[in-house]
């Protein structure tokens, strides 16, 4: 698993990357009450705001970690946004994408690097 400075995790399987937010991010955001996901098939650019999440406290954006195409979204989150607090690094993934350039993944942090990043 790879990690971004925006507190996303990226799970690489073949040419597909599954993206969610880290436990640390979910804890900082607090109880999540609303999620708006992009549509499958959307072409996105790196750092584009593609997911909106709102906690009891505030709204935040999740950025596309890479250029590419959204191929699947986890629409179970829309009706049960609280699942993001329960299992942010497992069941509550946000979307799957096909990156335009898989080599860009090399620039992200390992789990050990992310742990020291947030400490």
Partner 1 sequence: MSDLAVTPLYDLHLELGAKMVPFAGYSMPVQYPLGVMKEHLHCRADAGLFDVSHMGQVWVDGPDWDAVALGFERLVPQNVLGLADGRQRYGFFTNDAGGIEDDLMFARRGERLFVVVNAACKAEDIARMIQALGPSLTVTPVEDRALIAVQGPAAEAVLAAQVPDISTMKFMDVRNCTVDGVELWISRSGYTGEDGFEISIPEAEAERVCRALLEDPRVQPIGLGARDSLRLEAGLCLYGHDIDAGTSPVDAQLTWAIQAVRKTGGARAGGFPGAAAILDQLAHGSDRKRVGLLPQGRAPMREAVPLFDSETATDPVGIVTSGGFGPTVQAPVAMGYVPTNLSAPDTELWGEVRGKRLPVRVASLPFVPANFKR
Give me the residues that bind partner 1 (CB under 8 A), please. Answer: 30-31, 33-34, 36, 52, 54, 56-57, 59, 78, 81
Q: Cβ contacts of residue 114 below 8 Å, gap of 6+?
A: 3, 22
Q: Which residue lies nearer to partner 1 by CB, 36 or 69?
A: 36
| Shortest CB 56 distance to partner 1, Å | 4
Paired with 59 in beta bridges are 54
| Shortest CB 107 distance to partner 1, Å | 29
| Shortest CB 31 distance to partner 1, Å | 4
Strands 95-99 and 43-44: unpaired
């Amino acid at each position: 698993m790879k990690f971004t400075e925006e507190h996303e995790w990226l799970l690489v399987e073949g040419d597909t990357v599954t993206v969610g937010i880290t436990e640390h991010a979910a804890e900082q955001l607090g109880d999540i009450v609303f999620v708006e996901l992009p549509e499958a098939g959307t072409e996105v650019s790196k750092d584009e705001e593609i997911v909106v999440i709102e906690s009891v406290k505030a709204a935040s954006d999740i950025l596309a970690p890479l250029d590419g195409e959204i191929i699947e979204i986890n629409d179970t989150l829309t009706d049960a946004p609280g699942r993001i607090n329960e299992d942010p690094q497992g069941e509550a993934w946000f979307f799957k994408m096909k990156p335009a350039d898989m080599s860009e993944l090399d620039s992200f942090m390992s789990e050990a690097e992310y742990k020291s990043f947030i400490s």
